[in-house]
């Protein structure tokens, strides 16, 4: 995306000042729900990103609730979160707007147009974003729209990293009342990255963000969206099948991505589990992980353009693929159409508990421990029998009773003695 500080023809907000404080200098991008501008905070003299919502997006004009929610979101400080500075209602235009950190970089959606990214960059990005989700989940916030356009790539200042990933647009669902923005029978989201529970109309929990992150990282590794196509087709596909995860990514990647994109929320790991697992992924040059398309090193990208929250391109308001378009207000799906009766639809997830990746490792370790114990028991039995036989006179063919051994091993020895005597 290229930032243009110049006035955009036909855009009445460029050059205006919202809330008598935030001057809008140029349009960065426009989507279905809002437009993002590069601006300046006249009170503090710093550059900011201002997201101005469309007229239909009402809900943050309640001053008391706005102050409460803004204070909560502004308190979330993390290197992988785009900071929220302010949220307000502009009386002059009648529009709601957010003021956020301006990030110098590009969004992941644009970067992926050059091809998939390598395993090392993908693992670093996954760790950053999962840790950011863990922070907001701990405060009771669900993002609900994790997608490439909401991942900003900021140039890093360390030789070991070329960029840092930042998650944008978190908490908007809290600032804008769901009941007012969605209206009855509607839902908000980006079809290509919705979780199965969002598709069926259930209230999303933290596990929904983990699912969306799994689809995002899978696309980053392969260069292909997991559920492409028109909105309804893309959204409904995940109710009947899991995403295709190529074995060429490597066993550890496949295991983690498969767990993150499990159809049942309770079967997915938590965001914290994902962040920990991402640090252990095999990213060595010789490891499995070669995909069919050439991977892109982010250090080879052209000089980044200045970006803001949302990552929306001024010249690409409409997407060729509905599944990866900007956040949209979509008709809520008919659950009977997907084969899910309304009465049996999944209930909202109320617990933060998710399946732990370590459970999978325990399934592999327990059989090995059992085999080792059996071998040890067999060795002890052989030694005891050998000692007992050696102590008997040569003319006495009746074996002496085996010595008493306490515990489970003694039970096995008694069974062995009965079998020999019988």
Please report the pLDDT score of residue 404 as a whole number.
Answer: 59
Q: Is 104 a catalytic residue?
A: no
Give the integer Cα–Cα distance in Å for 127 and 161: 13
One of 1.10.1060.10, 3.30.1460.30, 1.10.510.10, 3.30.830.10 is the CATH number of 107-355, namely: 1.10.510.10
Give the integer Cα–Cα distance in Å for 46 and 70: 19
Please report the pLDDT score of residue 75 as a whole number.
Answer: 85
Find the angle CA(144)-CA(145)-CA(151) to the nearest 5 degrees. Answer: 130
Structure tokens at 250: 């490597």
Q: Exactly one of 90, 121, 145, 273 is catalytic; name it.
A: 145
Structure tokens at 143: 């993002």
Residues 6+ away with beta carbon under 8 Å from 144 = 173, 188, 189, 198, 204, 208, 209
Give the integer Cα–Cα distance in Å for 129 and 127: 6
Structural element, H or E, at residue 34:
strand 34-41
Q: What CATH class does 17-100 carry?
A: alpha beta
Query: 350-354, long-range: CB within 8 Å, 24+ apart, which pairs?
Result: 350/205, 351/205, 352/137, 352/205, 352/206, 352/270, 353/266, 353/270, 354/206, 354/207, 354/210, 354/265, 354/266, 354/267, 354/268, 354/269, 354/270, 354/273
Q: DSSP letters of 381-403?
A: HHHHHHHHHHTS-TT--SPPPPP
Identify the bridge partners of residue 106 per DSSP, sorted by sequence position: 153
Please report the pLDDT score of residue 34 as a whole number.
Answer: 82
Decide if 222 contacts 244 (C-beta within 8 A): no
Backbone angles phi, psi at 313, to 5 degrees: -90, 130
Q: What is the mean pLDDT of each run of 10 residues along the chain (422 residues)?
A: 39 87 91 86 96 71 68 86 90 88 90 92 95 95 92 85 86 63 54 92 93 98 93 90 95 97 97 96 62 48 45 39 55 45 40 42 42 50 50 48 58 61 54
Backbone angles phi, psi at 100, to 5 degrees: -135, 170
Residues 6+ away with beta carbon under 8 Å from 258 = 242, 245
Structure tokens at 168: 């944008």
Please report the pLDDT score of residue 158 as a whole number.
Answer: 79
Give the integer Cα–Cα distance in Å for 87 and 195: 28
């Amino acid at each position: 995306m290229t930032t243009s500080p110049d006035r955009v023809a036909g855009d009445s907000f460029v050059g205006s000042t919202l809330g008598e404080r935030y001057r809008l200098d140029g349009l960065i991008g426009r989507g279905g729900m809002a437009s993002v501008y590069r601006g300046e905070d006249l009170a503090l003299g710093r550059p900011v990103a201002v997201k101005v919502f469309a007229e239909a997006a009402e809900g943050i004009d309640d001053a008391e609730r706005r102050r409460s929610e803004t204070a909560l979101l502004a308190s979330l400080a993390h290197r992988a979160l785009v900071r929220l500075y302010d949220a307000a209602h502009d009386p002059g235009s009648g529009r709601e707007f957010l003021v956020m950190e301006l990030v110098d970089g590009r969004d992941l959606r644009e970067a992926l147009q050059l091809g998939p990214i390598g395993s090392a960059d993908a693992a670093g990005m996954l760790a950053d974003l999962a840790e950011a989700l863990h922070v907001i989940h701990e405060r009771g916030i669900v993002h609900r729209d994790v997608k490439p356009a909401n991942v900003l790539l900021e140039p890093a200042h360390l030789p070991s990293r070329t960029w840092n990933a930042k998650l944008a647009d978190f908490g908007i669902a809290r600032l804008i009342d769901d009941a007012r923005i969605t209206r009855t029978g509607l839902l908000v989201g980006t079809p290509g990255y919705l979780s199965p529970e969002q598709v069926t109309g259930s209230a999303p929990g933290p596990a929904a963000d983990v699912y969306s992150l799994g689809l995002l990282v899978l696309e980053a590794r392969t260069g292909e969206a997991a559920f492409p196509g028109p909105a309804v087709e893309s959204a409904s596909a995940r109710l009947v099948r899991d995403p295709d995860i190529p074995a060429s990514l490597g066993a550890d990647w496949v295991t983690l991505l498969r767990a993150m994109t499990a159809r049942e929320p309770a079967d997915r790991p938590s965001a914290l589990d994902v962040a920990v697992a991402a640090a252990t992924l095999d990213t060595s040059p010789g490891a499995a992980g070669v995909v069919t398309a050439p991977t892109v090193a982010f250090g080879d990208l052209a000089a980044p353009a200045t970006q803001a929250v949302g990552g929306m391109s001024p010249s690409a308001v409409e997407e060729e693929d509905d599944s990866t378009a900007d956040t949209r207000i979509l008709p809520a799906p008919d659950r009977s159409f997907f084969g899910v009766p309304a009465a049996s639809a999944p209930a909202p997830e109320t617990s933060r508990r998710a399946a732990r990746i370590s459970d999978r490792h325990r399934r592999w370790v327990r059989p090995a421990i059992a085999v080792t114990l059996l071998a040890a028991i067999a060795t002890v039995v052989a030694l005891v029998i050998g000692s007992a036989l050696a102590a008997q006179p040569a003319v006495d063919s009746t074996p002496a009773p085996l010595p008493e051994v306490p515990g489970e091993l003694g039970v096995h020895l008694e069974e062995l003695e009965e079998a020999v005597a019988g």
